[in-house]
Structure 1
Amino acid sequence: MSGAGGLVLGIDMGTSGARAVAMDEAGNVASSGAAKLAAFSEDHRDPMGWWKAVQAALLEALAAIDPARVRAISIDGTSGTMLPVTADGAPLAAPLMYNDPVNDPAVLGRIAAQAPQESAAHGATSGLARLLAFQSLPGIFRVIHQADWLAGHLSGLYDVTDENNALKTGYDPVDRCWPDWLARTDARVELLPTVLPAGAPVATISPAASDAFGLPGDTVVVAGTTDGCASFLATGADRPGDGVSALGTTLTVKMLSDRPLFAPDYGLYSHRIGDMWLAGGASNTGGAVLAAHFRAERIAELSAEIDPMTETGLDFYPLTKPGERFPIADPALLPRMTPRPANDAEFLKAIFEGIAAVESLAYERLASLGGPPLRSVRSVGGGAGNPAWTAIRARKLGVPFLPALSDEAAAGTARLALAGAREAGVL
């Protein structure tokens, strides 16, 4: 518990559990904690299970620091997860998770008829569809997002959200308001929370939460974000043209822009982050293609045989099955992975080159849609640890590859807490 100066807390509520980090004013992580959701509930839709996991992760992080140093706290949640609540935050029904569809043709029809084409409120898994599904419950006060509900346990307020979580519920991030067309979907707009910018101070911590965690009574609760935005912020990317590539089962690219990008054909919309915009897209290429051909151990062996500074001369578009989302929007796009070299290392290299070419095209697509030229890339996900693939990607993309400061979403939320603490004048 050594050290001086103020600290902030960031909490990430993910699909499998909660993580918390304490961060100092320079952005260094001072402590962390984690808790699995399964340890508290067998039902991932159980809000009390969420809160118990958050409590456990937070208490673990606090055990390694002096809680009296904490100045602010912020939390993120899974995008689109929503629940109906009473004025004191009691859930009125089981939440609808980020991937739970609302399969009501009447609801989806009203949204499709009224929502602008570029709105993120379209579709069966939108926050707006969930509002329409919940709004007739007796005793309802608000329909709020997962992060809002958890933050309410810290502030005592269950009617505040942030611009990032609100996006899929129909919020207009350009005009910064709930738009008039929402009422024409028959949505009860009075059930929507007040929206603040991500990183804005919300309120001081409630006396109950202050006592429960041993935090100062003037600790500021700061508006949070979605888990995806938090993961981006955690890397340290903070200027227009900064890109982050997530090399997991699929390839996801995100980039900060100085203007909003909306392209419905590509499923592309923009989150507001301070004075900038976070836009990105997800391809169907990625680690799933590698796993379809090689075990992880074999990929490591073959990668050691690859010379990343030479070209195979092959032009692969690696997919496991037909269909692509971004940077090419074509549900019938065929995989292109022939001719297959007889040498396994050469075949793996051609796949690496193909995925890197898709990654490069993805950033070019963002620029063609109005974004800035790519200026740097930070990499996260399992594929980021492969040196041969990284060298191929760096050669194809032609921009500096910078280290990600963290791959923990909680660290990104802590950065929002830092911004809120500074805005509130407590740091």
Structure 2
Amino acid sequence: MNTPLAIGIDLGTSGARAVAMTPDFEIVAQGAARLADFGASRREPRIWWQAVEAALRAVLAKVDRAWVHAIAVDATSGTLLPVDVDGTPLAEPLMYDDKVSDAALLARIAAVILAESGAHGATSGLAKALVFQSVPGVTKILHQADWIAGRLAGHFGTTDENNALKTGYDPIDRHWPEWIAATGLRTELLPRVVAPGAPIETIAPEMASTFGLSEEVEIIAGTTDGCASFLATGADRPGDGVTALGSTLTLKLLCDRPIFAPDFGIYSHRINGMWLAGGASNSGGKVLAHFFSTDEIARMSNGIDADISTGLDFYPLLEPGERFPVLDPAWAPRLEPRPADDADFLKAMLEGISAIEKLGYDRLTELGAPPLHSIRSLGGGAANPAWTAIRRHKLGVPFLPAYSQEAAAGTARLALIGLESVGDL
């Protein structure tokens, strides 16, 4: 193969995946490794690295390494760790879903934070950074993707605009805002921020030797796992929407302007000269799984007629509280009256989640986003034909195939952008 290759690496909650991609977006090799193969803890950076290394080696074994020109990394948004000057982790990382319980610390943030900031809440990167700044010897507080990229580059201290959002970065003015210092955080501990797809530096010589790569390989700034998943689908025009039908319902819409609406749980990432706006509902597949097994859902779905509505107005939640497309900690579930037929009950829940999806995209448009003109779907729910048919009725736009379901493919696209910026394509 006589064409440059870019490699995208996705570090998720259960493992690492890597893909090699050509400049015309063809995926020519893939590799994967489970975190569990290297240890029981998802919180140990050593295990993260071993899984990434295994996935990367699996890809490199299938391509001509001389043609690898760039590598980029995505990882879970909001996972942070403190490191010393050599990049050595100094404390157990706080994961994306860990909550900071220090009320006084959270109050310091609440007193100064701007309403539009992505750093609200006990799980924010900013709250975790305030916890970590007291760790002895800390010189930088990094996001998970930053640390992996730092291992490859041999330099720790750079992040991307998407990972930085939940730590308080201002994506509109493109800097760490002054109010962050008012929280008491030592801002010198924050990494420098570059755009996703921007070159960081060439690969560290020892890493080039370890993986049999050229020392000219560019390490490119990556993104969050959510943004990478969007890019992987091939969506690239304002009005392109991507719905992830996993345990929760997540919507992202490509926009020509930023949409920040904290009252509706909406924020935006800057990506490829555009904006990715959206939010995540507390509804989704986990509600279905509470009532029925995977096999039961598949069996009953085969008998669902999507053309005939149940007439029920369900809002499927397991407990009170919603975050998008409404933000209300007391928002009540609606799962009654329950039909006597389990298949009708499932159908009503699918209709309800589909209605939430439509409300989410409508809400984005009301707030200034372009109208939804196409949908690509990700997650386990995307394979359910009855659910897809119900969603088609609700949304009324073309359903397009996702180019890839792999977040690593989206990150590989960013690596290609970086190659183009340095003239290697």
**TM-score after normalising by structure 2:** 0.96
CA distance in 1, matches of 2:354, 2:369: 20
Letter in 1 for 2:67: R
State whether residues 248 and 282 of structure 2, in contact with CA within 8 Å, keep that contact through their aligned partners in structure 1: yes
Alignment of 1:257-336 (within 5 A): 257-336=255-334
How many Å separate the matches in 1 of 2:137 and 2:352?
54
Deviation at 1:377, TM superposition (A): 0.6
Counterpart of 1:59 (choices 42, 57, 71) is 57
The match for 1:347 among 345, 348, 365 is 345
Q: Match for residue 396 of structure 1?
A: 394
Whichever residue aligns with residue 317 of structure 1, its letter is Y
SS at match of 1:174: coil
Q: 1:292, 1:156 → 2: CA distance? A: 45
> In angstroms, what is the RMSD of aligned CA positions?
1.5
Distance 1:26 1:213 in 2: 25
1: CA distance between counterparts of 2:244 and 2:127? Answer: 28
Displacement of 1:140 in angstroms is 2.3
Equivalence map 1:69-108=2 (5 Å):
69-108=67-106
In the TM superposition, 1:99-248 aligns within 5 A as: 99-248=97-246
Q: Deviations over 1:83-140 (max 9, x none)?
A: 1112221122222221222222222121111111111122222111222212233332
Structure 1 residue 200 displacement after superposition: 0.6
| Partner SS state of residue 181, structure 2 | helix
CA distance in 2, matches of 1:175, 1:107: 26
1:5-50 per-residue CA deviation (whole Å, 9 max, x = no partner) reads 1110000111111111111111111111111112222222211111
The superposition leaves residues 242-292 of structure 1 with CA deviations (integer Å, 9 ceiling, x where unpaired) of: 111111222111111111111112322111102111121122222223223
Unaligned runs of 5+ in 1: none
Q: How many residues align?
A: 425
Equivalent residue letter for 2:297: I
Alpha-carbon separation, structure 1, partners of 2:135 and 2:349: 51
Deviation at 1:351, TM superposition (A): 2.2
1: CA distance, partners of 2:38 / 2:317: 38
The residue that corresponds to 2:19 in the other structure is 21
Structure 1 residue 317: Cα displacement: 2.2
- Higher deviation after alignment, 291-300 or 25-34: 291-300
Amino acid at match of 1:178: W
Q: Distance in 2 between matches of 1:292 and 1:106?
A: 36
CA drift of 1:364 comes to 0.3
- Give the letter aligned to residue 42 of structure 1: A
Q: Which amino acid aligns with 1:200?
A: A
Report SS of the residue matched to 2:260: coil
Residues 265 and 326 of structure 2 are in contact (CA less than 8 Å); yes or no, is this contact kept in structure 1?
no
8 A Cα contact 2:204 2:215, kept in partner: yes
Give yes or no for the alignment of 1:32 onto 2:33: no
Q: Quote the residue 2:335 is aligned against.
A: 337
CA distance in 2, matches of 1:175, 1:21: 33
Equivalent AA in structure 1 for residue 407 of structure 2: A
What is the letter of the counterpart of residue 229 of structure 1? C
Q: Counterpart of 1:403 in structure 2: which amino acid?
A: P
SS state at 1:401 partner = coil
**TM superposition outliers: structure 1 runs of 4+ over 4 Å:** none
Query: How far did 1:339 drift?
Result: 3.5
C-alpha deviations, 1:364-408, integer Å up to 9, x for none?
Answer: 011112211111111111111111110111111000001111111
Taking the aligned partners of 1:331 and 1:238, their CA distance within structure 2 comes to 34
The alignment's TM-score, normalised by the length of structure 1, stands at 0.96
Given residue 342 of structure 2, which amino acid in structure 1 is its aligned partner?
D
Amino acid of the residue matched to residue 256 of structure 2? D
What do the CA deviations read for 1:343-370 (whole angstroms, capped 9, x no partner)? 4333332222222111111100111122
Greater Cα offset, 389-398 or 320-329: 320-329
Q: 1:384 aligns with which of 374, 382, 385?
A: 382
Q: What one-letter code is carried by the residue in structure 2 that aligns with 1:20?
A: A
1:249 corresponds to = 247
Identity within the alignment, %: 63
Please tell me whether the aligned partners of residues 263 and 326 of structure 2 are also in contact (alpha carbons under 8 angstroms). Answer: no
The 3 A distance-change label for structure 1 pair 421 and 294 is: same
Quick one: distance in 2 between partners of 1:203 and 1:10?
A: 16
5+ residue gaps, structure 2, are: none
1:329 Cα deviation from its structure 2 partner: 2.4
Q: Which of 248-257 and 9-18 deviates more?
A: 248-257
* Counterpart residue identity of residue 98, structure 2: D
Question: Which sits farther off after the overlay, 134-143 or 50-59?
Answer: 134-143
| Structure 1 letter corresponding to 2:157 | D
* AA of the residue aligned to 2:110: A
